[in-house]
Structure 1
Amino acid sequence: MLVLWCPDWPAVAAAAVAGEPVGRPAAVFSANRVVACTAVARGDGVRRGMRRREAQSCCPELAVFGEDDGRDARLFESVVRAVEELAVGVEVVRPGIVAVPVEGAAGYFGGEHGLLERLVDEVSVAAGVECQVGVADGLFAATLAARRSTLVEPGETADFLAPLPIRELDQPKTGRAELVTLLRQLGLRTLGAFAALGESDVSARFGMEGVLAHRLARGRSERPPSRRRPPPELSLAQAFDPPIDRVDAAAFVAKGLGERFHAGLAAHGLACTRLGIYATTETGEQLGRVWRCAEPLTPLGVADRVRWQFEGWLKVRDTSARPRSGVVRLRLEPEETVEGRSLQLGLWQASSAGGLRPSTEDEGLSGERAGRALVRVQGLLGPESVFTAVLDGGRDPAERVRLVPWGDRREKSAQADANWAGRLPSPSPATVFARPVPAQVLDESGRVVEITARRRITAVPFLVSFEGGEPREVLSWAGPWPVGVRAGAGHARSGTRIRMQVLLADGQDAEEAVLLRFEPHKNPMWTLEGKYD
């Protein structure tokens, strides 16, 4: 297997869309942590997993971008097209990595070395991005070889993997972080040390997840090499009238197709690990791409890849590479399948006939109707138009609430109940503003109340007004409390945030509690962060 890897692709793609110069450090953040950064940013000390404030303190010139799988897939289409000019059977593992069977193409170009050189040149010229190429037995080993620009001879994959650190098992989107942490705690520091364990012992201690990782560490495929060729009826095709020429329309269609496609495979006890997406346009153009997945695809996974592929077809930067008309027919093909896993409903979602909870069936039907309505809104307004809230970890009320697009996984990025230093105690404000509202705090003499270098208020608050509104009397107050203070010289004010709770008069015999914030390291002024019920 040959793997072509574009380093730091999410950060490279984000910087390219924003028009940032190549030499400027850039990083992509998800849930306030670095998920990808450029080589220039790493040279300044930025690392994956860093918090945003820590990364910006290491590199003040850092360009900050949000995670966007659609953007990454759309820009990566030009790289995939460049690879397809030289080889057939290209499989997209994820935006940034493509895999190619090496035998046929290597013979055509006079050997593997010739193929590697041509691929690097073609991608650099046609797509304008840097890439690295590696060859090894199996996708996992070939990916690691690409990160090291190595060609591993046949049969030597286990020797190549043995000295590598055990953390290599935790590749993006694999979810093996907990397993890798446990292996390190047990003293297994390298892939070779893990591979030396017996498979029966690994199965007894770590279960199926450990067995799959153990196969990778031994240089074998994650799944046994015997593959079933799926029967033809498992392919799913659908015609469209009018043709699809917008990504939001494709996203709406993809959700229904993903559920039907997954249900058809599940009926035969199968799950898809390589998904072929093929489309025919109104003018007869034939479009196609194969997506390889480390884990069996869920209905949401199928829908995501259909949406990403339409992003690549319809929004590719090179307008000459876009389809000349809308898509009139779409076919989903299970290129590779494995034994599927049943998805069991929870016990408390059973029918009310059992007498467990009389309202459960009604609640399930109501939830299903609400889900269909939200999907309909997404189809009309776009996939980023409907969000649900996830209570996450953080110090500020705004940081603790993360909005997730409807249909995406509602995974927590940090423990909400962890001991967050400087976290606002309960109860949290009932209303948290997306953008802090400017406020003015005055003392009894009409002077502005500020924060001193020792993080104390200059006078007792007497009046508070918001955005030029009428001043309101302060009935009581608590604070101020500093958050994010850095110890040491030169950091007394950097990253400091001051909070103060204030109880205001609100009409006759009415009161209102608010949360105020003051940031000395920015434009020194008070802002309204939230309101309490």
Structure 2
Amino acid sequence: MPPERVIVLHFTEWGRDDEPEAPSDFAPVFARLTELVPATEELRPGLVAMRARGPARYYGGEPEVARALLEFARSEALGAARVGIADGRFAAEQAATAEPAPADGVRVVAVGGSAGFLSDLPVTCATDEKLGALLPGLGIYTLGAFAALPEDAVRARFGPGGVLAHRHARGEDGERGEPVRPQLAAKDFAVGIEFEPPLSGTEQLSFACSTLVEGFIGALTAERLVCTSLRVTLTDDLGIRHERDWAHPRFFSPQDALARLRWQSESLVAGFAGGAGEERAGAGIAAVRIAPVRTDRTASHEPGLWTSGPDERVHHHLSRAQGLLGPAGVGTLTLDGGRLLHERQRFTHWGSAPRRSRATGPWPGALATPQPTLVFTPPLRARLLNAHGDPVEIDEADLLAAPPVTLRVEGHTATGSVRGWSKPWPIREQWWAGRPERFRVQVELDTGDGWLLLARVREAAASAHATSWYAEGRYD
């Protein structure tokens, strides 16, 4: 059975690196497109696929469908667009996105010609990153060269993922044909309001947007949804957009969403006032837009059989404290990846999405357990002295040049005498940027306290080094 003819529409300016777009921003465009061609699937924001058979009958042919889609893009002011038509979804997608682009924006691959069209394209078009890096090393640079390999050999060497890429290279769409799966247009929950004249006060803006925020949360509730992450866009009277995504540890209530709007506007008020050292950002906020970034079903956030009273009370009190202190006044601390102890401390504002963790490493030179119970941020200045009262240096062999006898730490009087110490272990990183060598040393005092010291070594002369000591942490 021959592959199904598929049409792919690509909005080329959607989601460019210099103008990133969220998936929710494409929802109203997709909704209007489904009014033109109902059986449509969104492959990703800015790229949609549809079966060619029905639209071709309605418009009188595949080229006519392509012209109607391009006219839709022009009428909606969506920028440049391309249309690709071919046997199968993969070939149609490549026809719409491959360079160079056709002069009229339409590339129609004849029936049965998908394999020939794909043969000259780079092999990375059909493979994942790992396979795409491996095949050129084997002398396979194009989809045509990859398609020429026996499928059994591809399966034995590259597994199911390689077989799927091999079938794409041959102009096929896998065992099940990867048909177009029509989607219902998602409801657009974004809300907005414009102000004339612009508003320059935070409290004034909050009062003006209270009804808007309540309607935003109410519309989601009516659909049995909750918002766990939202995007607030403030546009000043100069047309400059100030966007920020806000996440919530549970889900947004109208009060929570309004607080995020107020916090975001506070950073603009000083600019509107024209404070010293501030670049003017306009006379005030002329428009506000609130859109959901992530939503979830209400049932997923219902309390358990015995409720979640303590968690709700904790969240309530922390949110109230944050409302008084500001967004940076309340947060949580977590351990992250890093070599130095203070680099591993990550502060996340309460209600903000945590950044991606770096804890997986690897981190050569990182401290093994047990960790110091007290970490100094920044590290304290210290002096590690030998028997003559001179600073202990790190020699050319990365060892202590003399036995340490006394440790003195800034802010700690009469720290004590050194009873034992470890060998230094180096932390060498970013040497190309001129970062000096660093070493860690653990010392034990006659008082029973343990200290983690950090030594920074810099070149002082052709054959001499200067070592600066710091206290990074303390073992109690």
Shift of 1:476: 2.3
Shift of 1:386: 3.6
Q: Residues 462-515 of structure 1: CA distance to partner in whole angstroms, max 9, x if unpaired?
A: 1111238645322423313313358xxx99x9764311122335xxxx543221
2:175 and 2:242 mapped to 1: Cα distance?
A: 32
- When residues 308 and 518 of structure 1 are mapped into structure 2, their CA distance, relative to the original with a 3 A threshold, is same
- When residues 423 and 411 of structure 1 are mapped into structure 2, their CA distance, relative to the original with a 3 A threshold, is same
Whether the aligned pair in 2 keeps the contact of 1:478 and 1:500 (CA below 8 Å) is: yes
Structure 1 equivalent of residue 336 of structure 2: 392
Shift of 1:98: 9.6
Structure 1 equivalent of residue 387 of structure 2: 444
1:409 aligns with 2:368: no
2:474 and 2:453 mapped to 1: Cα distance?
A: 9
Whether the aligned pair in 2 keeps the contact of 1:163 and 1:192 (CA below 8 Å) is: no
- When residues 247 and 369 of structure 1 are mapped into structure 2, their CA distance, relative to the original with a 3 A threshold, is same
- When residues 259 and 444 of structure 1 are mapped into structure 2, their CA distance, relative to the original with a 3 A threshold, is farther
SS at match of 2:347: strand
- Normalising to structure 2: TM-score of the pair? 0.52
SS at match of 2:332: strand
2:329 and 2:285 mapped to 1: Cα distance?
A: 23
- When residues 5 and 272 of structure 1 are mapped into structure 2, their CA distance, relative to the original with a 3 A threshold, is same
Structure 1 equivalent of residue 314 of structure 2: 367
Whether the aligned pair in 2 keeps the contact of 1:5 and 1:143 (CA below 8 Å) is: no
Q: Residues 407-463 of structure 1: CA distance to partner in whole angstroms, max 9, x if unpaired?
A: 2223552345x6644331222112222222211111121111111111100111111
Q: Residues 135-180 of structure 1: CA distance to partner in whole angstroms, max 9, x if unpaired?
A: 5679x999998997856635679968985264579xxxxxxxxxxx
Whether the aligned pair in 2 keeps the contact of 1:270 and 1:338 (CA below 8 Å) is: no
1:475 and 1:420 mapped to 2: Cα distance?
A: 29
- When residues 146 and 516 of structure 1 are mapped into structure 2, their CA distance, relative to the original with a 3 A threshold, is farther
Structure 1 counterpart of 2:106, which letter? E
1:339 and 1:400 mapped to 2: Cα distance?
A: 31
- Normalising to structure 1: TM-score of the pair? 0.48
Structure 1 equivalent of residue 456 of structure 2: 519
Q: Residues 193-235 of structure 1: CA distance to partner in whole angstroms, max 9, x if unpaired?
A: 586555869xxxxxxxxxxxx88xxxx7xx84542556xxx67
User: Aligned match of 2:200 in 233, 238, 245?
Assistant: 245
1:98 and 1:323 mapped to 2: Cα distance?
A: 32
Structure 2 equivalent of residue 325 of structure 1: 284
1:2 aligns with 2:12: yes
Whether the aligned pair in 1 keeps the contact of 2:442 and 2:450 (CA below 8 Å) is: yes
2:406 and 2:384 mapped to 1: Cα distance?
A: 6
1:344 aligns with 2:292: no
Shift of 1:350: 2.6
SS at match of 2:357: coil
1:188 aligns with 2:161: yes
Structure 1 equivalent of residue 442 of structure 2: 501
Task: Output aligned runs, 1:483-498, within 5 Å.
Answer: 483-485=426-428, 496-498=437-439
Task: Output aligned runs, 1:422-437, within 5 Å.
Answer: 422-437=365-380
1:464 aligns with 2:407: yes
Of stretches 436-445 and 140-149 in structure 1, the one that deviates more from structure 2 is 140-149
- When residues 447 and 323 of structure 1 are mapped into structure 2, their CA distance, relative to the original with a 3 A threshold, is closer
- What are structure 2's unaligned runs of at least 5 residues? 1-10, 22-44, 48-68, 131-156, 460-465
SS at match of 1:344: helix
Structure 1 equivalent of residue 141 of structure 2: none
- RMSD over aligned Cα atoms: 6.2
2:215 and 2:125 mapped to 1: Cα distance?
A: 41
Shift of 1:2: 3.2
User: Aligned match of 2:223 in 261, 265, 268?
Assistant: 268
| Larger strand percent | 2
1:274 and 1:444 mapped to 2: Cα distance?
A: 61
Shift of 1:529: 0.7
User: Aligned match of 2:185 in 227, 241, 244?
Assistant: 227
Structure 1 equivalent of residue 472 of structure 2: 529
1:478 aligns with 2:421: yes
1:461 and 1:185 mapped to 2: Cα distance?
A: 58
1:3 and 1:248 mapped to 2: Cα distance?
A: 37
Structure 2 counterpart of 1:498, which letter? F
Of stretches 517-526 and 261-270 in structure 1, the one that deviates more from structure 2 is 261-270
Q: Residues 250-306 of structure 1: CA distance to partner in whole angstroms, max 9, x if unpaired?
A: 89999998797356324314689999978799xxx7979899x9xxxx957989996
SS at match of 2:161: coil
- Structure with bigger gyration radius: 2
1:392 and 1:442 mapped to 2: Cα distance?
A: 33
Structure 1 equivalent of residue 57 of structure 2: none
Q: Residues 50-109 of structure 1: CA distance to partner in whole angstroms, max 9, x if unpaired?
A: xxxxxxxxxxxxxxxxxxxxxx99xxxxxxxxxxxxxxxxxxxxxxx999x964675899
- When residues 322 and 394 of structure 1 are mapped into structure 2, their CA distance, relative to the original with a 3 A threshold, is closer
2:193 and 2:76 mapped to 1: Cα distance?
A: 37
Whether the aligned pair in 1 keeps the contact of 2:225 and 2:298 (CA below 8 Å) is: no
2:279 and 2:342 mapped to 1: Cα distance?
A: 43
Structure 1 equivalent of residue 463 of structure 2: none
Structure 1 equivalent of residue 106 of structure 2: 153
1:164 aligns with 2:135: no
1:494 and 1:333 mapped to 2: Cα distance?
A: 44
Whether the aligned pair in 2 keeps the contact of 1:464 and 1:474 (CA below 8 Å) is: yes
- What are structure 1's unaligned runs of at least 5 residues? 11-71, 74-96, 117-133, 170-183, 202-213, 354-359
Whether the aligned pair in 1 keeps the contact of 2:226 and 2:298 (CA below 8 Å) is: no
- When residues 389 and 98 of structure 1 are mapped into structure 2, their CA distance, relative to the original with a 3 A threshold, is farther
Task: Output aligned runs, 1:280-299, within 5 Å.
Answer: none
Shift of 1:404: 2.0
